[in-house]
Structure 1
């Protein structure tokens, strides 16, 4: 078999690897700024004025309902955008669908430059539609075009693109936050036009997904696209064999079901129902790790913990989650030396070495421990004294274990969740299954983003314009620690090991193996070099029809 995007051979061509890297370079996730709500000019423009509440800046503050709305409304748009990824991806195509998504996102960014509250919120929704489309179509495209040996790395780089976007957004926000004009918040928003241009323009240079083309019975175009990706002539035996492998798997899927939404939840031989619910719940659990609490509300949370430069802390968290190996930043309370190295880059390289299932288990356990430590320290030594004094040692512990927590996320649940979502669905329902799974991600993202201010903010009930909240503050980390325990249990029972398998071999794994037995069956498949076509021949010639014995 060919060593291209889905080949069953171990080797891949240099050109195939080059295309895979190009895909990831263009697949920069569009990252919206998250700390606007703490900016002085933004609060003066969109906030309310009430000096008696002692909130916000110069008496200007954002009401809890409005804070929940402005942070979470983008996620509401992304939810519907993810659902629209199915018709966009299957009718327009993976490639053109991504380009269209970038146009939608750019429109939303433009509307957010207005000073009218309604226009700003509508812009957030439209931008969310674009992000939702991108968040589903990009991993789908990468999974269908990447060599199996490095598919985890390539799709995992999608998460790296997200963290790079978060890092750049935090740096730009920190650089513009003290401006006294609208440029303080318009510049970070306008920078997002660049991401749309890079992704949309870059996709025009890449071929369409060969699996999508075969799904549409465009065999000649699929061979040409596969040839570009694998550096073989379109009429070569390698490309013909690869196409035959995909077509055979697709025919079996179509024989079992029509590929409708109903088929996504049927427990057929291919276990579509299990795979769909796995994708939906996996993306939900990723959000329930609590990671977006830090990136959405980290600035205001650290301020409430007594740290006097929360914008710098947000940059630190993004750096740990992204690319810098070692930094030393000056804070007003002390100097911190961070020696956490390139966690997301490390993580994406481990996906195809350590394995998906094992990384998720390690990451969930690590995050759980870190979050419980943050919660315990925060409610004991980390409390601010009545006279306003803070325990510097406790603050160091809080920051350190938040960084450790982000490191565990960046090497596991951040990239691996997208890798698994992109590879577990059969081709006939891939667009529908992925749209449902990614929509689950954004639904939980919206829910957590909307609920968090009501969970952690100080209650102003009984005061003019006051709002009742749970005022959990650092206690919220007890919740995130418990949800990470749920992530650990979910992974053990629902996530198979798919390292080193082609997408068609993953179909066989679900058909022939159990979840906890997936590692053993995966090794047997690789050692015996069992492809979908060979499996069919073995079933036809074996009196028992049991390919797992091969």
Structure 2
């Protein structure tokens, strides 16, 4: 598997359309990463600081600038807006479809970019470019074959890092301009990414699972046939759709996925896991580097801070590639644990060296181990957090749960973006932690390691339906690597009744009636496809 894209022998049809479509949808990550990366450089641009300053003089360099409260507001406003946008993504995706919801959000994003480009003062510049990012991994997870799903969803994080790199390149090219082009060009470039994304999504198919959710079985068959490059009446298409449909109907007979329902039982456990992994991804300290890295390096006495940010962006991009490869080779748990330990050690080294010495050597160590930290993050927690949240939830609750986990990501993103200037900067009412802030990030990375061991289930190689079975049968996360699926959801559907309330009970009765690969079984598959 992995980058070799070695498909299983029993995988029918071609995976090329689904892979190409999934990788294109990951282009939404370019918007995410680029928008995140532009702000770090813009805050350090001399002309922007003079133009947007309200009389404040930065004590670090004696030049006009913005206060901690102003930089907090500028950086965090996008995260706050996207938090509410993510919460609204579920009804949008469940009502209009995954594809159309992404198109609508892209247009909203363009309105925000327009306001930010036109700004000449802080209130309008406050990063109104809001886009709901949760739809992209949702679409990818519902269209990708299970054997390549982790790589495709992980490509979303790769696209984010590519966006960050593009932002660093554009910022570096415009930083010395002595006019509004220094910040308007980097901001306006986002129009190009949005136009490319919308143009592609117009011709993309809707996900088969959304059509099944809406009871449109023939549309689901056409969508899946297009994704697998098979005839709509091919037996493998009918079997896969019957499995998805049977699983969905068995879920519905066990309860509706309203917001109260997803807070309880197995779904509630998975929702808590998804929210926690997104929160810890933010608390690991990556957004400190992304949002304030250029300013931090500048205030630490490092020359050419824009070049350093460009270098860290390149490392971020390159390091994501082994993460995508190893996700399928090693599984989710080992790679997340490896990343958490590596991030923790790197952060603590930066904190200790930055605290005990202020020499040129300490700056070199700071840069070196920030780069090491980025390697560990980008090869583990960067892509895998999106993979895990994209595959955790059953179909009936997937849109709601992913919107909540994504909202959690943006909530903690907002908190960190707002609090960091007060934590790091010098001056009245500021903590002036400087490099000591890495002690905080290192502590959270230690918590990441504990969380992975106790809470993250190994889902490598499982279909979205088999993941439901995993959570119903395995009570603790550290026993999940040995799980082997045995249920057949088409037969499970045959025995569903109102007295059964668990997946295990359903499978028990299903297995009692299972008598092998018979003609009767195949007839049931055709009948349940309901074309």
What TM-score do the two structures reach when normalised by structure 1?
A: 0.85
* Bigger mean CA deviation after superposition, 70-79 or 198-207: 198-207
Q: Distance in 1 between matches of 2:330 and 2:492?
A: 27
Q: Distance in 2 between matches of 1:25 and 1:210?
A: 18
Q: Distance in 2 between matches of 1:293 and 1:14?
A: 44
Is the counterpart of residue 89 in structure 1 residue 93 in structure 2?
yes
Classify 1:11/1:293 alpha carbon distance in 2 versus 1 (closer, same or farther; 3 Å).
farther
Q: Distance in 1 between matches of 2:13 and 2:508?
A: 35
Deviation at 1:168, TM superposition (A): 0.3
Is the counterpart of residue 279 in structure 1 residue 255 in structure 2?
no
Q: Distance in 1 between matches of 2:243 and 2:441?
A: 43
Is the counterpart of residue 370 in structure 1 residue 346 in structure 2?
yes
CA RMSD of aligned residues (A): 1.9
Residue in structure 2 matched with residue 494 of structure 1 by the alignment: 455
Whether contact under 8 Å (1:24, 1:157) holds in the other structure is: yes
Is the counterpart of residue 161 in structure 1 residue 183 in structure 2?
no
Whether contact under 8 Å (2:26, 2:153) holds in the other structure is: no
Deviation at 1:25, TM superposition (A): 2.5
Give CA-to-partner distance per residue, 1:509-540, whole Å, 9 cap, x none.
0111122211111xx23xx6x54336678622
Deviation at 1:121, TM superposition (A): 3.9
Residue in structure 2 matched with residue 533 of structure 1 by the alignment: 490
Whether contact under 8 Å (1:56, 1:62) holds in the other structure is: no
Residue in structure 2 matched with residue 46 of structure 1 by the alignment: 52
| Paired positions, count | 488
Pick aligned residue for 1:73 from 77, 80, 86: 77
Deviation at 1:48, TM superposition (A): 2.0
Is the counterpart of residue 110 in structure 1 residue 114 in structure 2?
yes
Deviation at 1:486, TM superposition (A): 0.7
Q: Distance in 2 between matches of 1:9 and 1:234?
A: 21
Whether contact under 8 Å (2:286, 2:374) holds in the other structure is: yes
Q: Distance in 1 between matches of 2:351 and 2:373?
A: 12
Alignment of 1:184-263 (within 5 A): 184-263=182-261
Classify 1:174/1:502 alpha carbon distance in 2 versus 1 (closer, same or farther; 3 Å).
same
Q: Which blocks of at least 5 consecutive residues in structure 2 are unaligned?
A: 1-6, 495-506, 515-531
Q: Distance in 2 between matches of 1:494 and 1:544?
A: 34
Pick aligned residue for 2:356 from 368, 373, 380: 380
Deviation at 1:115, TM superposition (A): 3.0
Classify 1:509/1:36 alpha carbon distance in 2 versus 1 (closer, same or farther; 3 Å).
same
Classify 1:447/1:437 alpha carbon distance in 2 versus 1 (closer, same or farther; 3 Å).
same
Residue in structure 2 matched with residue 409 of structure 1 by the alignment: 377
Classify 1:216/1:398 alpha carbon distance in 2 versus 1 (closer, same or farther; 3 Å).
same
Alignment of 1:137-536 (within 5 A): 137-267=135-265, 271-322=266-317, 342-381=318-357, 383=358, 391-459=359-427, 461=428, 468-514=429-475, 515-521=477-483, 524-525=484-485, 530-533=487-490
Whether contact under 8 Å (2:247, 2:493) holds in the other structure is: no
Whether contact under 8 Å (1:23, 1:206) holds in the other structure is: no
Classify 1:531/1:289 alpha carbon distance in 2 versus 1 (closer, same or farther; 3 Å).
farther
Deviation at 1:258, TM superposition (A): 0.9
Report SS of the residue matched to 1:517: helix
What TM-score do the two structures reach when normalised by structure 2?
A: 0.88
Classify 1:12/1:106 alpha carbon distance in 2 versus 1 (closer, same or farther; 3 Å).
farther
